Amino acid sequence: MRAIATIESMSYATVNFHLNNARKALDAASLSQATALATKMKLI
């Protein structure tokens, strides 16, 4: 998340907040699972 924050010029807390919201919206247990689900759903 720190790398994403640096690349996007955002704070770590902001990236963490948004990724956790995405994880909850996808009803995933982890960020890895959220990534897999989002990929399968062609969201990313």
Q: What is the extent of the structural domain holding 27?
A: 2-40
pLDDT at 24: 97
Q: pLDDT per residue over 6-35, tens digit each?
A: 999 999 999 999 999 999 999 999 999 999
Q: What distance in Å separates the CA atoms of residue 16 and residue 25, rounded to the nearest whole number?
A: 14
Q: What distance in Å separates the CA atoms of residue 38 and residue 40, rounded to the nearest whole number?
A: 5
Contact 14, 5 (CB under 8 A): yes
pLDDT at 34: 95
End-to-end CA distance of the chain: 17
Q: How many domains does the chain have?
A: 1
Q: What distance in Å separates the CA atoms of residue 39 and residue 44, rounded to the nearest whole number?
A: 5
Question: What would the DSSP string read from start to end of 1-14?
Answer: -HHHHHHHT--HHH
pLDDT at 18: 96
Residue 40's pLDDT band (boundaries 50, 70, 90)? very high
